[in-house]
Structure 1
Amino acid sequence: MRFVTYASAAGDDRVGLVDGDRVHGLEPGVTLLGLLESDGLDAAGERAQADPVETVDLDGLTLRAPLEPRSIRDCMGFLQHLRNCSAASDLELDERHHQFPVFYFSNPAAVVGPYDEVPISPNCRRFDYELEIAAVIGKPGATIPLDRAEEHIAGYMLLCDWSGRDLQMNEMALRLGPAKGKDGANTLGPMLVTPDEIEPFRSKNAFALNMTGYVNGELVSEGSWDTVDWGFPDMITYTSRGTRLRPGDVIGSGTVPTGCLFEHFAMDPDGFRGWLQPGDEVRLVVERLGELRQRIVPGVPAEPLSSGY
């Protein structure tokens, strides 16, 4: 099943089940987070298929982020991404990356929809995208065993972790963060795809599905989900260690190799195409999960601190 949240002609946002090129809308007031917390997606999908409140064309719909996540934990799943980013400094990958999938908490209040405009972070001159996949928790649990971890996944969707690279590097030099360098926007969407939809593509630690990224129509990023080193089962087992995951929590895969501009800058600074600018269009695609298509716009000016920063 594939679920979207869309702007209904009635003036509200509704959850719908995608059926081919049509969407079967559920009752007003229903949210995807609410469904995950209550009767689950199976019953909702059956209800939408059998007795929709409305049926509308998918083409032309204004899609929102599928859900408002409770939390976002973004992991380092693709180790080649880190190797590529370290190319300019000739640094070896820290051995601890082979022990556990390190992660940071991102900002659920900064989530935007799959076709929304994205403002550049205040004071940022090196704005970047990151092509990732998100797993959405549907079944709560704590200290989840590895062999049961996938039972807790309600579905998958694209994640773009928008990044202010200059801000990020300035913060992390102080051994804390990332903070404002990752605080401006996260894109989720365009739909939540249940695990059964992609099961035939299972491969290694993930699924053999292509991931591509374009800037103004130029192919910049190209990889495959099944090159991930840490799959979502390991990520769920680690992130749930000693704590509780809840329905609506989002786990990010980390960036697929070549899946951001910073990698290209690190590997070939002389041939680098440049950072994102107002007016640029970023299009990110993952097979079977859909695409994000967003235009970059100017951000708000920063309010100075007492230091002048």
Structure 2
Amino acid sequence: MKFVTYDAGQGPRVGLLEGEQIFDVGFTGDMVAFIEAGAPIARREPVSGARLLAPLRPRSLRDFLAFEGHLKNAMGRLGRPIAPEWYTVPAYYKGLPDTVIGPEEEIPWPAYTERLDHELELAAIIGRRGKDIPKEEAMHYIFGYTIWNDVSARDVQTRELPVNMGPCKAKDWDGSNVLGPCIVTADEIDPGNLRMVVRVNGEVWGEDNSGHMHHTFADMIAYASQAQTLYPGEVFGSGTAAGGSGLELDRWLREGDVVELEIEGIGVLRNRIGKKQQKRGA
């Protein structure tokens, strides 16, 4: 099943997507509450005039770095080696849920960066509460999958990373995390074999397959849940697929560019890049 959050003029609602048609499922809460309640479907009424929103406002965002191909490409351009620890530790940084926007929304370009970049990621949504989850059981804790465009300010990231605190303003501004267009339930797709493509203005900039992930979602869930409870509605990102960012190609987004991230079985997440904002007082 493909679940969405939509607005048809009466505020956000949970819907079921079949082809191009959205059906209301009769649930009064948001997507996180829907997942937590066990996805009960009371009725299915077709909806007209609906606008897709971000499929959920996550409880939390954790972004991992699972694709060796991306890491080799990116580190090669930065003239830095891959840390040997990367091969053994599925490390992650945390994002801000309030920064999330959805499909077809304009991506804001903050005034403090000159180099805006997209990142093509597969994201898993936690569906069950759990703690100290064994790797062999971890996949049973996933409700479904969506697409994540982890937008980055690359020039700012270059300045921040040597501090060894992780990305900060390179990742955090209103609209810097894009999710959508839907959540596909875990029983519908194989996260270990999905074609992933990024297009800018209709031109293919990169392609990969989720089967190339070095760290699996099971690895991530087992690692993150050590001594910590995971809750329904938390989002785990795969990190960027190989070729999934402009950094790897030395190609950079411009105002007005249309970025399309496509993952097999999920759909296309499409957004336009906004005009660069002006600094206050400029």
Using structure 2 for the length normalisation, give the TM-score.
Answer: 0.94
Q: Counterpart in 2 of 1:2? A: 2
Deviation at 1:29, TM superposition (A): 3.1
Deviations 1:197-252 (A, max 9, x none): 11xxx4xxx42211000111111011111111111000111111121111110000
Q: Number of matched residues? A: 279
Q: Counterpart in 2 of 1:119? A: 108
Alignment of 1:196-211 (within 5 A): 196-198=187-189, 202=190, 206-211=191-196
Deviation at 1:90, TM superposition (A): 4.5
Q: Counterpart in 2 of 1:214? A: 199
Alignment of 1:101-250 (within 5 A): 101-184=90-173, 185-198=176-189, 202=190, 206-250=191-235
1:247–1:18: structure 2 CA closer, same or farther, 3 Å change rule? same
Specify which structure has the higher proportion of helix.
1
Q: SS of the counterpart of 1:180? A: coil
Identity fraction in percent: 38
Deviation at 1:64, TM superposition (A): 0.3
Q: Counterpart in 1 of 2:58? A: 69
Deviation at 1:165, TM superposition (A): 0.3
Question: How far apart in 2 are the matches of 1:288 and 1:157?
Answer: 10
Deviation at 1:72, TM superposition (A): 0.1
Question: Is the 8 Å Cα contact of residues 27 and 34 (structure 2) preserved in structure 1?
Answer: no
What stretches of structure 1 of length at least 5 have no aligned partner? 266-273, 305-309
Q: Counterpart in 1 of 2:12? A: 13
Q: Counterpart in 2 of 1:307? A: none
Q: 259, 265, 272: which is aligned to 1:288?
A: 265
Question: Is the 8 Å Cα contact of residues 129 and 161 (structure 1) preserved in structure 2?
Answer: yes
Q: Counterpart in 1 of 2:46? A: 55
CA RMSD of superposed structures (Å): 1.6
Q: SS of the counterpart of 1:87? A: helix
1:28–1:237: structure 2 CA closer, same or farther, 3 Å change rule? closer
Which amino acid in structure 2 is aligned with residue 55 of structure 1?
A: P
Q: Counterpart in 2 of 1:279? A: 256
Which amino acid in structure 2 is aligned with residue 5 of structure 1?
A: T
Deviation at 1:161, TM superposition (A): 0.1
Deviation at 1:104, TM superposition (A): 0.3
Question: How far apart in 2 are the matches of 1:159 and 1:290?
Answer: 12
Matched, 1:255 2:261: no
1:172–1:303: structure 2 CA closer, same or farther, 3 Å change rule? farther
